[in-house]
Amino acid sequence: MGMLDGKAVMITGAASGIGRATALKAHVEGASLLLADVGDENGEALRDEIAGDGGKAAYVNCDVTDEGSVEAAVARTVTEYGRIDGAFNCAGILAAIGNVGENPLEDWKRVLEVDLVGVFLCTKHELLAMAAQGSGSILNMASAAGLIGWPGASAYVAAKHGVVGLSKSAALEYAEQGIRVNSICPSYVLTPMVEKDLFEDALGNDEELIAAARANHPIGRFAQPEEIAEAATWLLSDRASFVTGTAMSVDGGYTAP
């Protein structure tokens, strides 16, 4: 039996990166999936890939900054599968690199709108649906940046610290209703977003800068999305039944010093 046999799981940001890797892992572990993203082509392709492998998956376009869109995605999960047992709120963006004094207000707001407000809206409506059934597990995408400071990324750091705090508060509020809420805190993961927005755009594919970032990981390398997916799937499953309110580091030792 898989860890998620019989479970209905919603994943935002499912079309690429960690969200996609987690969807594929959750499928292997027996979950029925609601895939949510704004990248329709990749999202629909993933749906078809899972269905072609004998799994159950539906796709919806979901803008996590729009409450109506989020509410509709949660409702679609319940309509499709009769319940929502797990949710991984993975959708997010990276911030432009720059010191606090250099940050345009609109850039700051955009990062918080997607990475924090979006997670809040998803958590809110997932909690309401799960409270009605008396059980559930929510996992929110935080970051190593939610545990420490990263110079040049203040908006992203602020958003991810907020996700950690939001998750802890929700865990305390809903524990008696049978709902677990956790966050997961990766460091550098080799996703298309990191490779383009960070390595290419922000660091200019400078090998010395990328090597310096790699050297900050005692394990000696960056993570693969599948490694984060392993931890995420476990946290969503009943095998993590006594885990709530935690911010799990999956960072190759990045935050250990």
Residues 46 and 171 in one domain: yes
Q: Looking at residue 213, what is its pLDDT?
A: 94
Q: Which domain holds residue 109?
A: 8-187+224-249
Domain membership flag for residue 147: yes
Active-site residue 81, yes or no? no
Domain membership flag for residue 2: no
Q: Looking at residue 127, what is its pLDDT?
A: 98
Name the residue among 90, 127, 93, 140 with its Cα closest to residue 112.
93
Residues 89 and 216 in one domain: no
CA separation (Å) from 117 to 61, 91, 126, 203? 18, 11, 14, 27
Q: Looking at residue 234, what is its pLDDT?
A: 98
Q: Looking at residue 249, what is its pLDDT?
A: 98
d(CA 130, CA 26): 19
CA separation (Å) from 126 to 59, 153, 182, 208? 17, 29, 13, 43
Residues 210 and 88 in one domain: no
Q: Token pair for residue 125? A: 């409506």
Name the residue among 142, 189, 192 with its Cα closest to residue 168.
142
Reading the chain (257 residues) residue by residue, the pLDDT tens digits are: 899 999 999 999 999 999 999 999 999 999 999 999 999 999 999 999 999 999 999 999 999 999 999 999 999 999 999 999 999 999 999 987 899 999 999 999 999 999 999 999 999 999 999 999 999 999 999 999 999 999 999 999 999 999 999 999 999 999 999 999 999 999 999 999 999 988 998 889 999 999 999 999 999 999 999 999 999 999 999 999 999 999 999 999 999 99
Domain membership flag for residue 255: no
Residues 22 and 86 in one domain: yes
Strand locations in the chain, DSSP E?
8-12, 32-37, 56-61, 86-89, 136-141, 179-186, 247-250
d(CA 38, CA 60): 8
Residues 95 and 211 in one domain: no
Domain membership flag for residue 90: yes
Helix (H, G, I), strand (E, B) or coil at 94: coil
Number of domains forming the structure of the chain:
2
Residues 180 and 242 in one domain: yes
For residue 98, the 8-state DSSP code is B
Q: Looking at residue 201, what is its pLDDT?
A: 87
Amino acid at 171: A
Token pair 């200019």 in the structure block, residue = 204
Query: What pTM does this model have?
Result: 0.97
What does the angle CA 148 – CA 153 – CA 159 come to, to the nearest 5 degrees? 70
Considering the candidates 59, 81, 156, 188, report the single residue annotated as catalytic.
156
Q: Looking at residue 202, what is its pLDDT?
A: 85
Q: Looking at residue 1, what is its pLDDT?
A: 85
